Amino acid sequence: MSEEMNQVEVRNFEVGDRIKGQVTKVEEKQVIVNIEASKLDGIIPISELSSIHVEKANDVVAEGDELDLEVTKVEEDALILSKRKVDAEKAWDELEKKFVSGEVFEAEIKDVVKGGLVVDLGVRGFVPASLVEARFVEDFTDYKGRTLTFKIVELDKEKNRLILSHRAVIEEEKGKHKLDLLQTLHAGQVLDGTVQRITDFGAFVDIGGIDGLVHISQLSHEHVEKPSDVVEEGQKVRVKVLSVDRDNERISLSIKETLPGPWASIGEKAPKGSVLTGVVKRLVSYGAFVELYPGVEGLVHISQISHKHIATPHEVLKEGQEVQVKVLEVNEQDQRLSLSIKELEEKESEFPTDYELPEESKGFQLGEMIGDQLKNLKK
């Protein structure tokens, strides 16, 4: 077409007109399109191809693509066009609907920039670093090209501002899962979990999207001074559900209830007739309670403390004293042990050690007795 005819064709268009064009050539910094219903070509500068920064035009379009375009400038023999403006106008309408409804949608990460991620939704969408994940991420390099789910958290068409959040989607899903889990949990369940956080009063354990508290008294059968003495963050544990408060979303758990009790297999650890070392824990009028293993105490009845007659156990024992005992009876079911200290002590002589000679024998000397015997022999 002659230059004169081109000029005539061009004068048929005005800035703001919407047209359709087919890509005939993709250059590095611009795209040539043939305008529908005319023999006129138009030019799309690379800056007008997308709402986000583009390095090469062929990253966005290819030869043969049909495009909706807007005239941005009418030159003497050519039209300057924009794909970006048409895409943006269509996009804002759709984005406003998504924003109002809270819709969750997928989008590809087009670029990683300082402070966050960039998404092309017909307009430039920005995902601040704090809204990418529910956890801290140090390096977002490998996020480019990934497809994530998003919600729009801020939209201002006038300021061309669109803020997206993937974190909001994660937390919403977590919240739904938490509610579902709360409905299915019940006291008595035994579950696997992971220690998330340790406090002075216990440990919080994640049991699949929701945390429950293992109070310090439920960490072990033994006395625990500090929770960190028996568990650590990240540790896999087995827990039993003690109670579920759905209204306040509180779950009480126990690790202790999943562990063998201190009395389990006590018949093997302290069989009848065995001799063990223990510590006197309590003294009562009828005997002494001796701890053989953590959480396992046996009774030494007052009659089994000593061969001597004693009025109270306090006469020969004191709390905290280490003693040797013999196991007399074992009752694992009733958690009872009968012990004896007396059986390990030698019986005292049948004769009293403080025996005195009769009064009439006192003052009698050994030499005198021998002398008398000698006199009798001479006779």
- Does residue 250 sit in the same domain as residue 273? no
Q: Residue 30 domain-assigned?
A: yes
Digit-coded pLDDT (tens) for 235-252: 999 999 999 998 888 999
Length of the chain: 379
- Does residue 99 sit in the same domain as residue 149? yes
Q: Residue 373 domain-assigned?
A: no
Digit-coded pLDDT (tens) for 331-350: 988 889 999 999 998 765 44
Domain harbouring 228, CATH code? 2.40.50.140
- Does residue 105 sit in the same domain as residue 158? yes
- Does residue 95 sit in the same domain as residue 144? yes
Selected residue with higher pLDDT from 302 and 39: 302
Q: Quick one: tokens of 268?
A: 């093997």
Segment 206-215 shows an average pLDDT of: 91
- Does residue 191 sit in the same domain as residue 135? no
Digit-coded pLDDT (tens) for 277-313: 999 999 999 999 999 988 899 999 999 999 999 999 9
Q: What is the pLDDT of residue 236?
A: 95
Q: What is the pLDDT of residue 108?
A: 94
Q: Residue 353 domain-assigned?
A: no
Q: Quick one: tokens of 354?
A: 């403080």
Q: What is the pLDDT of residue 153?
A: 96
Q: Residue 145 domain-assigned?
A: yes
pLDDT at 7 over 60: no
Q: Residue 377 domain-assigned?
A: no
Confidence category of residue 362, pLDDT binned at 50, 70, 90 = very low
- Does residue 156 sit in the same domain as residue 99? yes
Q: Write the single-letter amino acid at 18.
A: R
- Does residue 166 sit in the same domain as residue 91? yes
Q: What is the pLDDT of residue 2?
A: 43
Digit-coded pLDDT (tens) for 132-154: 998 899 899 999 999 999 999 99
Which of 170, 203, 218 is the last residue before a domain boundary? Answer: 170
- Does residue 195 sit in the same domain as residue 237? yes
Confidence category of residue 175, pLDDT binned at 50, 70, 90 = confident
Q: Quick one: tokens of 324?
A: 């040797």
pLDDT at 40 over 90: no
Q: Residue 308 sits in which domain range?
A: 266-344
Tally of structural domains, the chain = 4
C-alpha span between 158 and 151 (Å, rounded): 20
- Does residue 69 sit in the same domain as residue 119? no
Q: What is the mean pLDDT of the chain?
A: 86
Digit-coded pLDDT (tens) for 58-111: 888 999 999 999 999 988 777 999 999 998 888 998 999 999 999 999 999 999
- Does residue 69 sit in the same domain as residue 7? yes
Contact in structure between 17 and 69 (CB atoms under 8 Å): no
C-alpha span between 326 and 176 (Å, rounded): 59
- Does residue 276 sit in the same domain as residue 297? yes
Phi-psi region of 115 (alpha: psi -120 to 50; beta: other; left: phi over 0): left
Which of 40, 56, 82 is the last residue before a domain boundary? Answer: 82
Which of 82, 112, 131 is the last residue before a domain boundary? Answer: 82
Q: What is the pLDDT of residue 345?
A: 85
Confidence category of residue 366, pLDDT binned at 50, 70, 90 = very low
Q: Residue 282 domain-assigned?
A: yes
Q: Residue 215 domain-assigned?
A: yes
Contact in structure between 162 and 197 (CB atoms under 8 Å): no
- Does residue 91 sit in the same domain as residue 152? yes
Q: Write the single-letter amino acid at 230.
A: V
Q: Residue 273 domain-assigned?
A: yes
Q: What share of the chain is helix, strand, coil (3-state, %, to 5)?
A: 25, 35, 40
Confidence category of residue 130, pLDDT binned at 50, 70, 90 = very high
Q: What is the pLDDT of residue 338?
A: 95
Confidence category of residue 9, pLDDT binned at 50, 70, 90 = low
